[in-house]
């Protein structure tokens, strides 16, 4: 209870961030994919529409990461990210539990808000609560796709956020990857990479198709990336659990961001 009281602002920020991300996902998917939408009727090419959705979602991710809330909470917005930083020793157990709980609740609130505002336009096919389900290659294609994108995302976060020259750009890199994932990977898995995001759509839609995959594979992919990163640079090479730390917001994590000596080896290698 003491941790809950002290860190409740960060928990609420995590909830709000994923909630806003889901609102953005719902609104832009309606705009580009609902058949009666003027934008959908104007842009006939499905690949172009998906690219534009990717640009919108990547921009949303960047805005949230660099927002005052994102700078303070760390902008995880994803249980897989939180679990990875917990495994790396940067997040306390109580914070990890509450982060994951509030991420799920925030994502669900965002989906329910879009459903309330747009009704069947959002809840019925083809938008269908923006639920994540395997694509044409089935569960195996989705399994591989989710694992690869989660691994690459976390490896990028670790390589950039722990590098003195690149850490301020981590959010930009993350947003660009989101754009690329929506454009190229979404046909395989629907682009989940986030158990809370997939739950937020699956629960109101009552569509649990391959949900085990979306709950299990992203954490495994990110944990694998962290294990490889720490094998290369050592366990202490992870400075903090924030995606953006060059700010004056408080940090609730086990942070050694202001101890540059901890990362001399990885900085030399990454800057060489």
Report the pLDDT averaged over residues 259-267: 48
pLDDT for 4: 87
132, 191 contact by CB (below 8 A): yes
pLDDT for 259: 59
* Per-residue model confidence as pLDDT tens digits over 31-41: 999 999 999 99
Report the pLDDT averaged over residues 237-245: 92
Cα separation, 94 vs 97, whole angstroms: 5
pLDDT for 3: 83
Q: How many domains are contained in the chain?
A: 1
Q: Among residues 199, 200, 202, which one has the least CA distance to residue 20? A: 200
Q: Is the pLDDT of residue 109 over 70?
A: yes
219, 147 contact by CB (below 8 A): no
pLDDT for 264: 43
22 Cβ contact partners less than 8 Å away, ≥ 6 residues apart: 107, 110, 111, 114, 130, 197, 200, 201
* Per-residue model confidence as pLDDT tens digits over 119-177: 999 999 999 999 999 999 999 999 999 999 999 999 999 999 999 899 999 999 999 99
* Per-residue model confidence as pLDDT tens digits over 66-108: 999 999 999 999 999 999 999 999 999 999 999 999 999 999 9
Report the pLDDT averaged over residues 11-31: 98
How crowded is residue 93: how many other Cβ atoms within 10 Å of its Cβ? 9
Cα separation, 214 vs 202, whole angstroms: 10
In order of 21, 226, 235, 237, 272, the CA distances from 231 in angstroms are 33, 8, 7, 10, 19
114 Cβ contact partners less than 8 Å away, ≥ 6 residues apart: 22, 23, 26, 27, 30, 122
78, 220 contact by CB (below 8 A): no
**What does the radius of gyration of the chain's CA atoms come to, in whole angstroms?**
18
Which CATH number belongs to the domain containing residue 37 in this structure? 1.20.1080.10
Residue range(s) defining the domain that contains residue 20: 2-271
Report the pLDDT averaged over residues 111-115: 98
How crowded is residue 226: how many other Cβ atoms within 10 Å of its Cβ? 22
Instruction: Tell me the whole-structure pTM to 2 decimals.
Output: 0.92
pLDDT for 212: 97
Q: Identify which has the larger pLDDT, 217 or 266.
A: 217
């Amino acid at each position: 209870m003491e941790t809950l009281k002290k860190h409740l602002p960060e928990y609420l920020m995590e909830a709000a961030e994923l909630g806003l991300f889901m609102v953005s996902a719902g609104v832009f998917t309606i705009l580009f994919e609902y058949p009666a939408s003027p934008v959908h009727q104007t842009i006939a090419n499905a690949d172009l529409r998906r690219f534009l959705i990717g640009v919108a979602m990547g921009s949303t991710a960047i805005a949230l990461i660099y927002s005052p809330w994102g700078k303070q909470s760390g902008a995880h917005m994803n249980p897989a990210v939180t679990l990875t930083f917990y495994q790396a020793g940067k997040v306390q157990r109580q914070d990890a539990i509450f982060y994951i709980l509030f991420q799920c609740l925030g994502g669900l609130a965002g989906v329910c808000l879009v459903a309330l505002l747009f009704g069947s336009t959002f809840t019925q096919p083809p938008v269908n609560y923006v639920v994540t389900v395997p694509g044409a290659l089935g569960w195996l294609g989705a399994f591989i796709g989710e694992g690869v994108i989660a691994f690459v995302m976390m490896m990028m976060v670790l390589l950039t956020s722990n590098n003195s020259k690149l850490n301020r750009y981590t959010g930009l890199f993350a947003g660009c990857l989101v754009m690329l994932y929506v454009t190229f990977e979404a046909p395989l898995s629907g682009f989940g990479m986030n158990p809370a995001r997939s739950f937020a759509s699956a629960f109101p839609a009552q569509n649990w198709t391959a949900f085990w995959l979306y709950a299990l594979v992203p954490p495994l992919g990110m944990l694998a990336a962290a294990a490889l990163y720490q094998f290369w640079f050592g366990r202490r090479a992870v400075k903090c659990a924030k995606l953006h730390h060059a700010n004056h917001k408080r940090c609730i994590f086990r942070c050694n961001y202001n101890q540059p000596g901890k990362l001399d080896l990885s900085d030399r290698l990454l800057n060489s």
